[in-house]
Amino acid sequence: MTPGKHRRRSLRRFPHSDLAGLSHILCSNMSTPGQPERGERALIRRLAETLANLASAGVPFGDDMAQMSPGDNGLLGTTDMLMDGVDFDSRKHAWFDIGRKSMAVNLSDCAAMAVRPLSALGAVALNNRLSMDDALELHRGIRACGDEFDCPLVGGDTNSWDAPTAIAITVIACPEPGLRPVRRDGAKPGDLIYLTGPVGGSILGRHLRPVPRIKTALAVSRELSPRAMIDISDGVAVDLGHIIEASSCAAEIDEASLALAIHADAQTLADQDGTPARDHALHDGEDFELVIVLPPDADQAVCQRLGLLPLGRILSGSGLMRVTHEGRRTPIEPRGWEHFR
Amino acid sequence: MTPGKHRRRSLRRFPHSDLAGLSHILCSNMSTPGQPERGERALIRRLAETLANLASAGVPFGDDMAQMSPGDNGLLGTTDMLMDGVDFDSRKHAWFDIGRKSMAVNLSDCAAMAVRPLSALGAVALNNRLSMDDALELHRGIRACGDEFDCPLVGGDTNSWDAPTAIAITVIACPEPGLRPVRRDGAKPGDLIYLTGPVGGSILGRHLRPVPRIKTALAVSRELSPRAMIDISDGVAVDLGHIIEASSCAAEIDEASLALAIHADAQTLADQDGTPARDHALHDGEDFELVIVLPPDADQAVCQRLGLLPLGRILSGSGLMRVTHEGRRTPIEPRGWEHFR
């Protein structure tokens, strides 16, 4: 069979204390030099080593989805677990919204690979204090989001316990006829980088109502021969970082383009916390817009019609930089939340 | 698309206090008359109502697996979440075994429908106190069990938190060429009931090392035209109960046959706790043998070759009974652990 992914996504943390939470969510720094090997990325690296002996085909290990059945037309699958107190806060968020988000993050993975979702399974460990109505609202949210994207919830596993609620949704998807899944590792020097929408400040509310960019992704795949795509779960810098790492190249983000891709929420948040809006746009997670890499000759009219926002370009070398219109380059440090540290 | 399952499986509880645990696991009574609607079954019933408007095709809602893609040759999927302190106890069980079991319970669902597993995804919420080695052992166990049944783990989602570890494995599977998945709802009066092996007392250790009966299930499906099958997660009585409920009929278990299907562990446990070994065989969960319903003219030589143990027969009417060889019938009360009460 095929190797696949162990998600590098490290979903944003929503600790129970609100303001402490905000700074942690938005600006935690994942690099801790000299620490013994620990953390999600180290674990994933170790897991990848043990899986490396599987025959390689289709989608490589570490991409947004895993290949579930062989062949270019094989099905892909993705799974995400959302946990109360980490990925959502049931004291503040409605169970319908929590359910919706649990499905949406998986559909966003389908968008990231430009494949069409088919159906979903859900496994839940419900905290014992949930009421029947809470459980039904959660289920209704999962189902509503799935139905909106033609991805019905077809089954699952219902459990309860004394610990916080955990929700694991799995989605399977199929490539569009004649089109291959868009991977992370196809970017080439000279390619152009786009976003499907403005980013930053999702914590003000958008993180709970992500809109999987499936429609745009399928259109991009049909019309623009994309080289690489990823959805923004950990922030533009980290997720674009995954593309350039997988593609063995570098990238630069135009400061002027970035300024036009800052979401109004990022500015609102900047006014509240003093962190530049640009930093929120680069580093805040859970936007679920897509980073799209297109060949240099991509049809600009199509890009405009699909609402793509230019962001920068792929370079040879390694690393991620900001560049001013005078050509002055500054490295961008990756920041993000990492599980299991 | 198709309706599917919300697992009725309610995995055994392993509370942290050992002996209190034993009695709870083995003999908890799920019927609590007069209580406000609560519990996993009530929730599942409510969920089933909301899904009833989906077009019916293939595998009905509530079976061991859900239909993930349309058509008789469509893929099936199943997911199970195992939780520390509920389905396993990480203070006593090795992480390798826990991983193995997490995969095996899903493969047992494939056996229950006589379909061939293709690949698996795993989502984990690891308790922060786990070491890197613990996490790798868990992963190794998941993978070892999958590989043993040609069901590679192709990807997943790794998270951590302060709460106990939860593990959700999803397996997709395909019907064998020319054979349809074996459902729960095809039993008819006059049919014969078999087990794939002796049952009871799994808590003495077998619950942690279940052997998914995929090979036997595929042979039964090829050679014996089974009417209905289910795997034993909640106990023979409860799981056979699911078959007769789905098939709108009754069943009787021959006391003499049952006596020959009691596992040695059930007798050992009976000697320890005073509960009759027969009751352990009827009510203990997590055996992961299969209950198989065959037409009255099933080839007895094939049954013997496949090691099937006769248990009883399907009747018209409703309810589950024991019957002595003199023909005296006694109702069997369903008992089992139910989540979300």
Q: What is the model's pLDDT at position A49? A: 60
Query: Using a CB-CB distance cutoff of 8 angstroms, which residues of chain A are in contact with residue B44?
Result: 158
Domain count within chain A: 2
Domain CATH code at residue B26: 3.30.1330.10
Instruction: Give the nearest chain A residue to B56 (CA atoms).
Output: A154
The gap between the terminal CA atoms of chain B, to the nearest Å, is 31
Assess whether pLDDT exceeds 60 at residue B20.
no
Q: What residues make up the domain containing A254?
A: 192-331
Q: Are residues A213 and A145 in the same domain?
A: no
Domain final residue, candidates B140, B175, B210: B175
Residue A182 inside a domain? The answer is: no
Residues B119 and B197 in one domain: no
Report chain A residues whose CB lies below 8 A from the CB of B51. 143, 153
CATH number for the domain harbouring residue B285:
3.90.650.10
Is the per-residue pLDDT at B9 higher than 80? no
B168 contacts in chain A (CB < 8 Å)? 79, 81, 123, 157, 166, 168, 170
Task: Please give the Cα distance from B281 to B237 (Å, whole number).
Answer: 9
Summarised one tens digit per residue, pLDDT across range A24-65 is: 223 222 233 344 455 666 766 666 665 533 333 466 666 789
Q: Which residues pair with B230 in a beta bridge?
A: B291
A233, A285 contact by CB (below 8 A): yes
Tell whether B141 and B59 lie within a shared domain.
yes
Could you tell me the maximum CA-CA distance found in chain B, to the nearest angstrom? Answer: 60
Mark whether A32 and A63 lie in a shared domain: yes
Task: Say which residues have a Cβ less than 8 Å from residue B236's Cβ, sequence separation at least 6.
Answer: B195, B199, B253, B281, B282, B283, B287, B291, B311
CB-based contact B155 A4, cutoff 8 Å: yes
* Chain B: closest CA distance from residue A66 (Å): 6
The shortest C-alpha distance from B118 to chain A (Å) reads 7
Contacts of A339 in chain B (CB under 8 A): 126, 158-161
How far apart CA A285 and CA A27 sit, in angstroms, is 10
User: Taking residues A193-197, what's their average pLDDT?
Assistant: 98
**Predicted pLDDT of residue B251:** 98
- One domain, residues B241 and B150: no
A77–B44 CB contact, under 8 Å: no
Residues B117 and B221 in one domain: no
Instruction: Report percent pLDDT > 90 for chain A.
Output: 73
Kindly state whether residue B181 falls inside one of the protein's structural domains.
no
Q: Are strands B166-175 and A250-254 parallel, antiparallel or unpaired?
A: unpaired
| pLDDT digits 0-9 by tens, B44-56 | 666 666 553 333 3
Q: Rg of the Cα trace of chain B?
A: 19
A13 domain-assigned:
no
CB B127 within 8 A of CB B161: yes
What is the C-alpha to C-alpha distance for residues A71 and A2, in angstroms, rounded to an integer? 9
Q: Is there a single domain that holds both residue A44 and residue A163?
A: yes
Is A83's CB within 8 Å of B46's CB? no
pTM comes to 0.85
Q: Give the total residue count for chain A.
A: 341
Closest Cβ opposite residue A5 in set B37, B155, B172: B155
How far out from the chain centre does Cα B238 lie? 10
Test the B interface: residue of A2, A68, A149 with most B CBs within 10 Å: A68
Would A237 be classed as within a structural domain? Answer: yes
Measured CA to CA, the distance from residue A306 to residue A313 in angstroms comes to: 19
The answer as to whether B7 is a domain residue is no
**Residue A230 maps to a domain:** yes
Same domain for A311 and A196:
yes
Task: Please identify, among A118, A141, A175, the residue that sits at the C-terminal boundary of a domain.
Answer: A175
Residues counted in chain B: 341
Of the residues B126, B149, B175, the one at which a domain ends: B175
Poorest-confidence range of A274-278, B25-29, B53-57, B103-107? B25-29
Give just the sign of the alpha carbon dihedral B61, A121, A102, A32.
positive
Question: Is there a contact between A156 and B7 if contact means CB atoms under 8 Å apart?
Answer: yes
| Nearest residue of chain A to residue B118 (CA atoms) | A69
Residue of B9, B68, B169 to mutate when probing chain A, most A C-beta within 10 A: B68
What is the predicted pLDDT for the residue at B70? 78
B336 found inside a domain: no
What per-residue confidence (pLDDT) applies to B242?
94
Do A137 and A279 belong to one domain?
Answer: no
Q: Which residues pair with B252 in a beta bridge?
A: B313, B321
A8 domain residue, yes or no: no
- Whole-number pLDDT of residue A268: 97
Single out the residue of B194, B228, B209, B190 nearest to residue B96, CA to CA: B209
pLDDT of B13 over the 80 cut: no
User: Which strands sit side by side in the sheet containing B66-67, from one edge to the other?
Assistant: A5-7, B153-161, B115-127, B166-175, B76-83, B66-67
Distance CA A76, CA A51 (A): 17
B216 in the same domain as B266: yes
A155: nearest CB among B5, B140, B153: B5
Which of A11, A51, A132 minimises the CB distance to B43? A132
Q: If we measure between CA atoms, which residue out of A63, A3, A61 comes closest to residue A229?
A: A63
Q: Are residues B161 and B217 in the same domain?
A: no
Do B119 and B110 form a contact (C-beta atoms < 8 A)? no
Judge if A138 and A283 occupy the same domain. no
| B124 interaction partners in chain A (CB closer than 8 Å) | 81
